[in-house]
Structures are given as C-alpha cells and as structure tokens.
Amino acid sequence: MSLRLETKNALITGGASGIGRATALRFAQEGANIMVADRHLAAAEDTATQVRALGRKATAIRVDTSVEAEVAAMVARCTSELGGLDVLVAAAGISHARYGEEGTPAMGPLAEKPLTDWKKVLSVNLDGVFITDREVARAMIAAGRGGRIINIASGAAKLPTPGVGEYAVSKAGVWMLTKVLAVELAPYGITANAIGPGFIDTPMTANLKNAEGFMKRLIERVPLGRVGEPVDVANTALFLASEEGRYYTGSILHPDGGVVMQ
C-alpha cells in the first residue's frame, strides 16, 4: 500500500513541540520529507531527528515567523534542500503575550489589556501566518504544481473567549485569511484550509491545566468528555494534505470533541 504523502515535501512552523511536532511525525509516517521551523532550534532539531529515524529527509531551521526576511529565507531553504514544497502547516503561535515566560498568563478583559500585549499576540498569530502563507503561496505559484496550505486556527476563531480576547481575534483573523487565500489561490491548484482545535494537551496549554478547577470545568463542556491530544489535530492535517482532502478549500475543521457545535 502506498503512503498517503509519499514523495511530498512539507514545511511545518511551530514544529518543535505540541501540534507542530505531532504533525511532523504523522506526516513522516506517511512518507513526507519535513522542514521543521521554530523559534527554538534545539527542540526543532529533536523533531527533525525523530523524522529522520522514520526514514524521511528532515531539516530544522530557527525562524521568527513575524519577521519577513526570516520567513523568506526559510521558504527558499525549504525548496532548495527538500527539492520543492507541497504542503505548509502553519502551526506557530502563542496563547498570550507572556507565553514562554515565568509566572501567570497575561489573562484579563480587553478593556484592561495593554496595546503591547495585543500587538504581540497579533504579530505572531496573525501577521506571522500571513507572512508565511504569502511566501509559501509565491513559491507554490512559481513551481506550478499546486499545493496545500493548512493554517492552525482555533475553536476560539468562532467562540468568544473572555480573558484571552486578543488570541480569539487573532485566530478569527487566521480563519478569514484562509478563506480569502482559498479563493485567490484556487486558479493555481492550491488549496487553503484551517484547523480549529479545541483544548489540546500541549506545552502551550500546560499552565492552564494547573488553574484551580479549570480542567473539571473544561471537560464538562466537551461532549466527548476529554481533552484532545496533538495527534488528533495532526490526523486532521494529514487528511487535508492527502489525496482524500483534495476537494476541500476554504474550510475549517474542528477536532474539538464537539465544543464548537454547541
């Protein structure tokens, strides 16, 4: 039986951990070569090592997706070292402005949010996805063989999320960005879709799990009665990247245990 992504080359941002890492490994299991891009190079190298252990080509690169020059260099290196670019999974993102720092998350009502916090989240979660999508689209158009763009949004793109309003707004922006790209890129055989996960057990959500009573309240909202795992999102990305997902564009799929439907 042939593998679902055999001979395909994929670029995955945010590939050092969580959803990005799970997607890199799931794609590699199905035959894809991977460029793992992340702000944290050592962790990205670890993901690439795991991909190579599965018999695929892999390379790691440090990138800040909100910096145009770094993204352009990333895409150029991907096409050069892997021999082309067929699939993008834009998974790089942050949950709040203090993500990765010690202490409590920068949560609170928008009326009390500093503009610097707002700008930081939008810069990574929306500007970074736009810049990455744009550079990848240019490369795919130039290559003339179509492609798949998959943006990691969130269930928060559709559900108001008090306390992290800037995150919800950024992900709603990713969802609209995806739909516009789907229309504009269709003539080139390039599809653009989004994934809107629910609560997934990743390093990004680890600090929230420690909040008093948070997990109990969360699970009560999930019809399937559990939080998601990164592989749940990776499998959704695999579907969109594979032949089975070829007629999807401008869609957002929700691996969320049923939260968004309520």
Residues serving a catalytic function are 167
Residue indicated by tokens 């890129």: 185
Q: Where are the beta strands (DSSP E) in the chain?
A: 9-13, 33-38, 58-62, 87-90, 147-152, 190-195, 252-253
CA dist 102 and 106 (Å) reads 11
Which residues lie below 8 Å from residue 153, measured CB to CB, with a gap of 6+? 171, 172, 174, 175, 178, 194, 195, 196, 252
Tokens read off for 94: 């942050």
CA dist 174 and 169 (Å) reads 9
Question: Contact 255/199 with Cβ under 8 angstroms?
Answer: no
CA dist 150 and 136 (Å) reads 11
Per the DSSP assignment, residues forming a β-bridge with 90 are 13, 151
CA dist 22 and 200 (Å) reads 12
CA dist 90 and 86 (Å) reads 13
- The CA-atom distances, in angstroms, between 112 and each of 80, 97, 118, 157, 163 are 46, 14, 11, 21, 10
